[in-house]
Amino acid sequence: MDLRLPQDLPLRNQKVFLRCDFNVPLKDGCIQDPSRIHAVLPTIDYLIQHECSIILASHLGRPKSKFDSELSLKPIEIYLKSKGYDVQLDDFHDRNATRIKSQKLLKGQILLLENVRFYEGETKNDQFLGQFYASMAPFFINDAFGAAHRAHASVVSTLKYYEPNNIAAGFLMDKEIKGLNQILQPKKPLICIFGGSKIADKISLIKHFINRADHILIGGAMAYAFLKAQNISIGLSLIHEGSMEQAQEIINLIKSSSTQLHLPIDHIISPPEGSEVLASITDDVQIPTNQKALDIGPETIASYSEEIQKASTILWNGPMGWFEEPTYATGTLAIAEQIAERCQAGAYAVVGGGDSLAAINLAGVAGNISHMSTGGGASLEFLSGVKLPGLVNLIKA
């Protein structure tokens, strides 16, 4: 996939509509993790170096097409100002006033639009809203890989109002596609590690890698559906409605494939309700009827680590347990450390999903990971073989 990039456009001294993904975690109005902001700064810096003025657009959370002060991009404006950028947040009252502000921008200045999901029609891919966005700048750059799977107005319909050769991907978008393509065209052996709570969130992804991956390692709450489907006791462990049937479908597909499925062989379990006993390790794969599993056990860690250390390419999405609670973080952190170690030995690894990225940061090994994907759902769909609507117009003819 050969994307049109900023250097392919005559951008010097131009106005550029730049779609980013600043959907960062907030607490009491403060940014908890600015990684998604940092990821797009190379594109912003390139535009400023080329004397552009920038109309900067992003979503944040899921407001209901109206202003919501808790989902305002004000914290983004404050953060960018703290990094030395000449940025002004639009007040989101009058579209004509917004357009006039965009026309008055000087070289190097940034007009940060308010959360695009405040606009009626954004999530409906409204063409008139898309036309409004396009009216502010003759060039469009999409650096919001995390929104590339959404057919929304600031991602898709606005492109109808741009010259095809005035559209490009940003540097983050290019980095994401190149990184994920190394999983789709891997050096073997390929190991896929999937965790988290819902099989439904990843069933298309798992299916896509059957016969592509050499090994699939399962952890997190989704593992208990696989175990229950094989009549293994899971006690009080969490499984979602329909997940056992989905697990059985995957098990059946893998039986006739070249891929080997690995499930936990022991667990860290919570104490029985009302008991003062600390969390404990099961003797084997069976989980006591009055307890729940919340992490993979040491035998599973050892088994999974052995496979990881043989890998040339690794994909990890989803934690191995309730890693936010230190008692049940061992499995997830161990996987993070094993992947980092394997990368240092020459393997290529992609880590995606908010929880997995958080675990990598918690383990202190982010600097050793080949590619940390900011994409979330976009990464899952791209790796599942889905054509992303936000990418279609960014590819060179």
Residues classed as catalytic = 36, 198, 354, 377
Q: Please choose, from the candidates 187, 194, 189, the residue with its C-alpha nearest in 3D space to the C-alpha of residue 214.
A: 189
Q: Please choose, from the candidates 141, 143, 139, the residue with its C-alpha nearest in 3D space to the C-alpha of residue 162.
A: 139
With a CB cutoff of 8 Å and minimum separation 6, the contacts of 237 are 221, 224, 287, 292, 293
Beta pairing, strands 30-31 & 26-27: antiparallel
**DSSP state string for 369-396:** -SEE---THHHHHHHTTPPPTTTGGGB-
Token duo for residue 29: 């109005």
Q: Which residue has the tokens 């006739």?
A: 256
Q: Which residue has the tokens 């912003």?
A: 44
Q: How far apart are CA 73 and CA 130, in angstroms?
A: 20
What phi and psi values does residue 153 have, to the nearest 5 degrees? Answer: -60, -40
Q: Please choose, from the candidates 379, 104, 332, the residue with its C-alpha nearest in 3D space to the C-alpha of residue 219.
A: 332
What Rg value do the Cα atoms of the chain yield, rounded?
23
